[in-house]
Each structure stands twice: as structure tokens, then as C-alpha cells.
Amino acid sequence: MKFGVVTFPGSNCDYDAYAAVKHILREEVEFLWHKSHDLLGCDVVILPGGFSYGDYLRAGAIAKFSPIMDRVVAFAKSGGLVVGICNGFQVLTECGLLPGALIRNSHLRFSCKYVYLRVENDATSYTSACRKGDVLKIPIAHGEGSYYHFEGEIKKLEDAGQVVFRYVDAGGKVTRQANPNGSINNIAGIVNVEGNVLGMMPHPERAVEEILGSVDGLRVFESLRSSVTSTPAVG
């Protein structure tokens, strides 16, 4: 199987994602340049963290008009697996592949630290190596990661099981203190209705080796591998 990591001007977690796939997961991986129109036959596309286009205007707002994004949107709409991490999540909401928006952290500070996430739905391509209720230790690093949507829309997401990760304390409890940015319902990651597009603010690619402080992020990559190798490729 093959992963693709998109590089926008200002991406800064593209090498982390590349290294996690290549050296830890030991799968094939290619960089996909933002000006390219070709996904090079990748089975999974990763939109990495960083500050694409300097986060000018709004985080992710300019990246959605990159040439590669036309291909990514078409790939996602045909059922292809697309994961947006941090800035990648912001790009996915901006281009409409995921509902809602990511706004300034409620405390206005950039937040860079380990947090705990509870797996809320283990039936996705991104969490099949987890069990519902598992608590993962994965770092965040963002200033605009507060997940927002209108009340009725949040209810729809919750009812459909689209909330995949929620910020919790070390014991797995949803608390206000465990919410690092003011996200509604402590939402840290969601999938689209079809389940093939994931956005998450925390960085699984930064938690793939003991020396980094946690290996829990690897579960996301392992889930993706088992999803791709057990189902026929799309796109």
C-alpha cells in the first residue's frame, strides 16, 4: 500500500508524517507537491500540520485552492481515504470535505502539549486498531483548534457517530480542564458521514516512538493499513 503526504508552502509536519509511515509503519510513502495534479496512485492521502500559506486570511483558507486539492477532493468523493492532521483538518473543513470550522483557541494561546483522547468510534478506517473507550496519549500544537459548529449540526455529528476522538483526562473522563482549546463537546477529531475522511487536531505522527513520549499515534496508522489491505483500493 502507498501513503501520500501533501506538502503546501508552510507545511511543517510533512516530514514527520512521512517518517512515521516510512520508518515506523514501514510502508511506501511519497510527498505530493501542492502544485501537482497527480496523487501518484496513493491509497491514503495525508494533509499534514503546519501553517499552509502562512495561515493568512484563515487557517487552511488558501490551501483549499491549491491544484493538488482538486485531486484530493475528487479522491475523497470517490471514497478514498483522506486524513487531515491539525492544519490538514483546517483545510478539510475549509474545502467542505468535513463539516464545521476550527476557530481561535478560547484562551487565545498557541497550545503545544500532550493530551489524552478517548476513542469514541472504533468502527472507522482510522480506529479499527483501537477499541471504543481506549485512551490515547497524543500531542497537540495549535492556536486555532477550537472545533465549532451550530448546535443542531453538532447533534447530527454525535448521533451519527462522526465524533471519533474526544479530549479527556488521563482516566478517560470528559472534563472542562481536559479540553485544551474550547472545542464544543471536547471534540478532537471527526469523520465525514461516509467515514472515509478524518480530521483531527492532535498529531498522531508525533507519537510513534517511545523516545517521543508515546506510541499511541501509531494506532491510527496501523488502523489505516489494515483498512487498506483488507478492502479493495478505490480511486
- List residues binding other proteins (CB under 8 A): 57-58, 61-62, 65, 93-94, 99-101, 103-108, 146, 148-150, 182
Pick from 208, 131, 140: nearest CA to 172: 131
Our CB check for other proteins shows the closer of 62 and 68 to be 62
The residues with which 115 forms a beta bridge, in sequence order, are: 138
- Nearer CB in complex with other proteins: 152/232: 152
C-alpha cell at 28: 511506501
Would you say 182 or 235 has its CB closer to other proteins? 182
156 contact partners, CB below 8 Å, separation of at least 6: 162
**Is the Cβ–Cβ distance between 190 and 88 less than 8 Å?**
no
Active site residue 210: no
Separation CA 42–CA 126 (nearest Å): 16
Contact 138, 206 (CB under 8 A): yes
The least CB distance from residue 93 to other proteins, in Å, is 7
Q: What whole-number distance in Å separates Cα of residue 159 and Cα of residue 90?
A: 23
Tell me whether residue 130 is one of the annotated catalytic residues.
no
Which CB, 24 or 61, lies closer to other proteins? Answer: 61
Whole-number Å distance between alpha carbons of 146 and 161: 19
Residue 203 designated active-site: yes
Q: Select which of 34, 142, 149, 203 is catalytic.
A: 203
What count of other Cβ atoms lies within 10 Å of the Cβ of residue 83? 27
Q: How far is the CB of 11 from other proteins (least distance, A)?
A: 20
Residue 78: count other Cβ atoms within 10 Å of its Cβ.
Answer: 10
Query: Looking at 42, 86, 95, 130, which residue is catalytic?
Result: 86
The residues carrying an active-site annotation are 86, 203, 205
